[in-house]
Structure 1
Amino acid sequence: MSDIEKGDIHNGGAGSRLTGAPRPTSIGNPASLGLFSFASTTFILSFYNVQVRGIKDPNVVVGMAMFCGGLAQLLAGMWEFPRGNVFGATAFTSYGAFWLSFGTIFLPGTGIIAAYEGKGDELDSALGIYLFSWFIVTVLLLIASLRKSIAFVALFGFLSITFLLLGAGKLTGKADLTTAGGAFGIITAFIAYYIGLSDLLAAERAAIVGLPLGGFKHD
């Protein structure tokens, strides 16, 4: 039996930890949708941050940020609420909002980037503060995940480092920090892919294989 079925984070809140009483719901587990969406968008932007094939401008990721990382994750978060999974709902909705806001920054029609033209490093400083705020959110989610599973601790741990490095890169102007942040982001994306696949396989009655998340035993 997977961590999901045992009542960890991605059981979708099907049972209460305090009472063990099942919560009736006809909503399928949206965790894989949220995780795959998060992983794919993070994977693309992280490759841009390490400048694979000389790519420096992140504009192509805007579409992914708005619809995959943003809208799909937001919907996954909303579906987690009626399942009683407060952690999953908070995480998916938060990062869905992150990707929607990130994509909005780079949409020409918003005028956000244009407002900083001719103002030196002000844009990078503003983005650095923006990224640091998400570092704080991620650390708080990391704390909440410490009794979930090794996979989730790794996910939020690497994501925290990713935001920290990217924010520091913007504030200091050091490209090496941004590159390092991209490298950690790639690792984060693959961890999210792994957890998403684990959840997807656990939902199948006759899955070809099961992927362990390294769940912790609770007294």
Structure 2
Amino acid sequence: MSATDATNNGALEKDVGSSAQDNGASVYPQMSAEEHSVARAAARFGYGPLAHVNASDAVLRPFGGEFQPGLYRDVKERKFGNPAPLGLSAFALTTFVLSAINMGAADLSMPNIVVGLAFGYGGLVQLLAGMWEMAVGNTFGATALSSYGGFWIAFAIVLTPGGFEIGEELGGLSSEEFNHSMGLFLMGWFIFTTILLFCTLKSTVAFFLLFFFLDLTFLLLGISYLQGNGHAPDSRIQKAGGMFGLLAAFAAWYNALAGIADTSNSFFITPVAHFPWSPTGRSRREKTARENV
């Protein structure tokens, strides 16, 4: 790979371990002094347009804003935008509304308002974002976003009034058979989310927390339906699941912001916290050790 390619990759990547070069102004002359100052601050976090990678290891590091917990090479000879913030935003808004209802906000008890969001935004848009993740070579992002897009579409199908009549066939939305069926449905998604959670352990803290909160959400909601009184989910466990759902929604929005905000559109850079055992964390420790010698 040429030095020019390495420089271009460094401009595109948001999560690398090395700091900014001192001659950033010569590399990016189109930037103002203020933009250079913000970019240098971003580079201290390990990402941004002034952060650079080793030319022999020009791959994207684990980063929630790219919805990628592992190393992968960027797309060559094609220019794709980052689809992760779109999918994360679709997931976050739909999860926010449903979780607020699960917590009993505004005395709402039925989640029918979520049907439109689940079909259009959390479902269709997130599914499309997942397919675009596949196009840029991000297998994890494609699997996660497409799967949760399918979850919201399936959830909307179940709750569509007078449409597919799944709830009616199970005795109604307040029947014991429906509640137990919904509990099994949610527990299956808890297992799937746990699998994805294991893949985030070498990524950023914000990325890990997104799947950790979501995992607890599915677990608690599944238990609430399975342990209900036969006609309704256990309200206390359901509210706890709603609380963790809200946390998952805000974690998704945070990761989306990290994928969108840069020096071209923001006066601040979203901090990303790296686990000490992550590639970026290890490279920083090695750099510190060299500086102290």
Match in the other structure for 1:81: 134
Identity of aligned residues (%): 40
Counterpart pick for 1:205 among 247, 264, 275 = 264
**Does the 8 A contact of 1:3 with 1:11 survive in 2?**
no
Q: Distance between the aligned counterparts of 1:198 and 1:126, measured in 2? A: 37
Q: Distance between the aligned counterparts of 2:227 and 2:143, measured in 1? A: 31
Q: Distance between the aligned counterparts of 2:136 and 2:108, measured in 1? A: 41
Which amino acid letter does the alignment assign opposite residue 243 of structure 2?
A
Q: Distance between the aligned counterparts of 2:74 and 2:159, measured in 1? A: 46
Q: Flag structure 1 segments of 5+ consecutive residues without an equivalent.
A: none
Q: Distance between the aligned counterparts of 1:123 and 1:184, measured in 2? A: 23
Cα distance change of structure 1 residues 11 and 122 upon mapping to structure 2, 3 Å threshold? closer
The reply on whether 1:117 has 2:171 as its aligned counterpart is yes
Task: Please identify the structure whose Cα radius of gyration is greater.
Answer: 2
Which amino acid letter does the alignment assign opposite residue 170 of structure 1?
Y
**Does the 8 A contact of 1:41 with 1:65 survive in 2?**
yes
Q: Flag structure 2 segments of 5+ consecutive residues without an equivalent.
A: 1-12, 17-46, 48-59, 229-233, 283-293
**Does the 8 A contact of 1:77 with 1:90 survive in 2?**
yes
Q: How does 1:62-81 map to 2 (within 5 A)?
A: 62-81=115-134
The reply on whether 1:193 has 2:253 as its aligned counterpart is yes
- TM-score, normalization by structure 2: 0.69
Name the stretch that deviates more: 208-217 or 148-157: 208-217
Q: Distance between the aligned counterparts of 1:184 and 1:129, measured in 2? A: 19
The reply on whether 1:134 has 2:189 as its aligned counterpart is yes
**Does the 8 A contact of 1:23 with 1:83 survive in 2?**
no
Which amino acid letter does the alignment assign opposite residue 98 of structure 1?
F
The reply on whether 1:23 has 2:76 as its aligned counterpart is yes
CA root-mean-square deviation = 2.2
Cα distance change of structure 1 residues 188 and 12 upon mapping to structure 2, 3 Å threshold? closer
Query: Secondary structure, in 3 states, of the residue corresponding to 1:100?
Result: helix
- Tell me which stretches of 4 or more aligned residues in structure 1 moved more than 3 Å: 9-13, 20-24
Q: Cα deviation per residue 1:173-202 (whole Å; 9 max; x = unaligned)?
A: 121101100011011111111110110114
Q: Distance between the aligned counterparts of 1:12 and 1:181, measured in 2? A: 24
Q: Distance between the aligned counterparts of 2:75 and 2:114, measured in 1? A: 40
Give the C-alpha shift of residue 22 in structure 1. 5.4
